[in-house]
Amino acid sequence: MAHGRASRLVCGGCGEQIAFEAGLVAQCPRAGDGGDHVLLRQLDESALPEPWFGDRSEPNPYVRFRQRFHAYHQALALGWSDAQYCDLVNSLNTAIAKVDQGRKFHVTAMSQVPALAAMLGMHGALWVKNETEHVSGSHKARHLFNILLMLRVAGAQFDGRPLAIASCGNAALGAAVLAAAAQRILHVFIPTDANPRVVERLRKLGAEVTICERQEDQTGDPCFAAFLQDVAAGAVPFACQGSENGFAIEGGEALGWEIADTLQLADASADRLFVQVGGGALASAVGRGVSQAYELGAIAQLPRLHPVQTYGAFPLARAYEHLADTMAQRLGFSQHWLDERDASEATIAVRQSRADLLAAHWHDPEMQEVFRQAIAQRSQYMWPWETPPHSIAHGILDDETYDWVAILRATLASAGFVVLASEDHLETARILGQEGTGIAADPTGTSGLAGLIALRQAGAVADHERCVVLFTGAER
């Protein structure tokens, strides 16, 4: 492949550009000023030598799509050959398979599940993208593998430094597998109620586990606070939050490219895409990946992106409502402030028509200005959930949606809106999800499907609509 500097890092919040020569910069230099800052990779698509989807016979997404990753362009600029870079990815992948019972990175299956569609009374195509058999049982390692690649390309300067992550489950497992495969020290900060089987596995993989207690009247996640301290002391943020390490978002984008490419190859379109949201890196990455493919003309229709949260904690739904209401008022929309918890047919219908209006005006300079102002005043939209959250989908109970900006951008542009799933919806999704597909996903893993069930119940999704859901998070 020829080499040009087709890739650059730009802050999705303030627009700050990072010099290519700066190498591994994980966070915007202006982070901490009260605005929202997440470094995102931007590509000059016209400078990429291969078609955007790469070599479809290549099973490893980090090889197949390598020209879309910043690490690859950094490596070439440092004088690496294409083959050397592929060797790095492949040798790490082999080491991962040894640590993780044969599992390694691959383009995961996305299949139509007519049996599940029928259970929901639908006859349009329903696709499930299955991440439960991926490295460590979820998509989480995708975010982190990209950070590992950047570390390896950056070279010896980061060699002695431990990696750090705050997580209660899947992200920590992914981190521990990758750290073991790469022979790096890993610090994991977990809550007191972490699943004992997960903790045992973390310790077996050699992670250094610290249990963090929530102090009375402390808002915000104590594990995250401990993680930040560790990073301040020199640890590398090996995190699945884009705000802490922008490469996490980039690492997950292949999921969106894979979804789009599957649709393209099947000559199919999707009306809606449901993605469960905790910290928000997953939906940010998928939203960005699918939008890029749409802009490249790979898919004819941009599916409505529906981020899904639970009634246990919905900081993103709160932010979405505030922003959507502010924008819609400028456009003269008649109804104001819809209660985030209200899932009546009438309210969901208003939410959907408002989403259509906002998408039609998304590119208006005035709308873009409202959006920019929201980003600059982060705390008015996004703040930690006030009470300890509970749900059977415990993997998406983050106090804050750290990556809310990229999600809302993709949601608003696609005429999607945030959906709340009740515990009943989540339980139904777990049961139907398993019965209708044979995939052993846990309630977090099927919580995107719970969002579809919630919208079906509210009469917003017609029988013929074509939907994509993501199963991620294997039952343990």
Interface residues with Zn ion (CB under 5 A) are: 11, 13-14, 16, 28, 30, 37
6 vs 393 by CB, closer to ligand PLP:
393
Q: How far is the CB of 38 from Zn ion (least distance, A)?
A: 8
74 vs 243 by CB, closer to ligand PLP:
243
Say how many C-beta atoms besides its own lie within 10 A of residue 352's C-beta: 18
Note whether 129 and 261 are within 8 A (CB). Answer: no
Q: How far is the CB of 474 from ligand PLP (least distance, A)?
A: 8
Say which entry of ligand PLP, Zn ion, none residue 16 contacts (CB below 5 to 8 A, set by partner kind): Zn ion
Q: How far is the CB of 81 from ligand PLP (least distance, A)?
A: 34
Say which entry of ligand PLP, Zn ion, none residue 456 contacts (CB below 5 to 8 A, set by partner kind): none
139 vs 354 by CB, closer to ligand PLP:
139
Q: For residues 312 and 392, give the distance between their C-alpha atoms in angstroms, rounded to a whole number.
A: 9
31 vs 126 by CB, closer to Zn ion:
31
54 vs 307 by CB, closer to ligand PLP:
307
Q: How far is the CB of 448 from ligand PLP (least distance, A)?
A: 8
13 vs 174 by CB, closer to Zn ion:
13
202 vs 367 by CB, closer to ligand PLP:
202
Q: How far is the CB of 28 from Zn ion (least distance, A)?
A: 3
Q: How far is the CB of 252 from Zn ion (least distance, A)?
A: 20
Say which entry of Zn ion, ligand PLP, none residue 396 contacts (CB below 5 to 8 A, set by partner kind): ligand PLP
Say which entry of ligand PLP, Zn ion, none residue 321 contacts (CB below 5 to 8 A, set by partner kind): none
Say which entry of ligand PLP, Zn ion, none residue 287 contacts (CB below 5 to 8 A, set by partner kind): none
Say which entry of ligand PLP, Zn ion, none residue 37 contacts (CB below 5 to 8 A, set by partner kind): Zn ion
Say which entry of ligand PLP, Zn ion, none residue 451 contacts (CB below 5 to 8 A, set by partner kind): none
Residues that bind ligand PLP (CB under 6 A): 138, 169-171, 240, 276-283, 395-396, 398, 444-445, 472-473
Q: How far is the CB of 426 from ligand PLP (least distance, A)?
A: 12
41 vs 184 by CB, closer to Zn ion:
41
Residues in the chain: 476
Note whether 60 and 106 are within 8 A (CB). Answer: yes
Which residues contact residue 452 at a Cβ distance below 8 angstroms, ignoring those fewer than 6 apart?
120, 272, 274, 306, 429, 461, 467, 469
Q: How far is the CB of 131 from ligand PLP (least distance, A)?
A: 8
